[in-house]
Structure formats: C-alpha cells, structure tokens
Amino acid sequence: MKQFFIVPSILSANFSNLGHDIKSVIKYGADLIHFDIMDNHYVNNLTFGPVVLQSLKKNGVEFNADIHLMTHKVDNLIPIFAKQKVSFITFHPESTFHIDSTISLIKSFGCKAGIAINPATSLSCLEYTIDKLDLILIMSVNPGFGKQKFLTYILKKIEKVRKLIDSYNNNIVLQVDGGIKKDNILNLLNAGANSFVIGSEIFCSKNCKSTILKIKNIINKFLK
C-alpha cells in the first residue's frame, strides 16, 4: 500500500530557532525533515553540513531526516550523514562517476537511497538503477534555492516515473521537490507522486499548523 509523505524542507525555516521549527512541523504531522545540502559548486548556493543535524540531535530534537545532496562530490559525504542515522540520502547522478556504487555505498550504511533528477535531465539513469533505489526525486525547480515557481512541464515527467515504478511493482517513493503549494499539490497527487518536499509554503506561512493540516486534508480527500 503506497504511503504518502509530507516532507518540510528547512531551507526556509527560521535558523535562529531551528529546533523549535522542526519540533513544530513534526507535531503538526510532518513525516520527514528535508535537509538541502548545497556546496556552492554543484549549485550556486551554500547552505549547511552535518554539524546542523549533530547539534539538533545533541539537543534532543528527534526527526527522520531526508538528506538531499546538491554537492559536487557525494561519496565522501555519505558516510558522515549516514552515521547520523538518517533515513534517506538522495544524490544527483552528475555528482558521482559511478552511480551504482554510490547507491550501494548509501545502502551499506542501512540508509535508503534516492536519485534526484533535475527538470531537464532525462530519466535514462533509472534504466539500470531502478531495482536498487528506494526513492526517485523529481525536481520541479532548478536546484539551488527555495521560493521558486513550480515548473508545470514536470507533471508529465512525474506521470512517466509513476508508470515506470508501477511496472516494477515495488514501493519506490516518488518524491517531488520545489515550488509545491496547497493549490498545486493535487496535480502532483494525480500525476502519481507520493512524497512532497515543501519549504516556503510551510515555513514562510503565517500559520505552519494550518498549512500542514490543509495539505494533509488534500491528501486524505484524494485517497478517499
């Protein structure tokens, strides 16, 4: 049975009170917390590293972490994040010379492995990896920044990936990331996505709680 995940991206959270923001969204029903790791090489932005997760955990902030590596290299970072007992580690295929061995490296630590595919990148890398993956992340914005506009042409791509996953009849998570709002999430559900990375719609809203509850209602109504 397909599960559905609401995954707040902390890129738009209040970093002066990050533990509080994370505890709040979890209390309101978030399933995982999405960490956008950017190195100012793979994308033109610089965010944070594993020290943020270490500090959160050390100070008693409990969460399931969904790590999105937007970095020029990934193999050296994977063990560091894996040691934080994160749930998912997702990487862009351009960040490794050997996609298959990077997937195996993530799984060797007991973490779930995901591949992130940029808007104009083809799905070809899935052909020989889909039977090893736990998650496929379809980027609905060009990576690097929050608060961008959802690229509507991605809906067709999501439908294609849903068909591909269903033909393998396994429960790979189909995640979408970028520009997701209350007023477009139903299109994503109809296209076959079941995991939603949502940053500014949640953390920049006047009321995080009501935003998450509204999103949950849209998903529950879709499932009826």
Interface with Zn ion by CB under 5 A: which residues?
36, 68, 177
Dihedral in degrees, nearest 10, Cα atoms 8, 79, 128, 124: 50
> C-beta of 202: minimal distance to ligand DX5 in Å?
8
Task: Please pick, from the candidates 66, 126, 177, 215, the single residue that binds ligand DX5 as defined by CB under 6 A.
Answer: 177
Size of the site for ligand DX5 (CB under 6 A): 23
Rule CB under 6 A: is residue 195 a binding residue for ligand DX5?
A: no
Q: Quote the longest CA-to-CA distance of the chain.
A: 45
Rule CB under 6 A: is residue 197 a binding residue for ligand DX5?
A: yes
Rule CB under 6 A: is residue 12 a binding residue for ligand DX5?
A: yes
Sign of CA dihedral 91, 95, 100, 106: negative
> C-beta of 209: minimal distance to ligand DX5 in Å?
17
For ligand DX5, the closer CB: 114 or 146 = 146
Amino acid at 91: F
What tokens appear for 216 in the block? Answer: 């949950």
What tokens appear for 52 in the block? Answer: 């943020």
What residues have CB less than 8 Å from 108, skipping those under 6 apart?
A: none
The residues carrying an active-site annotation are 36, 177
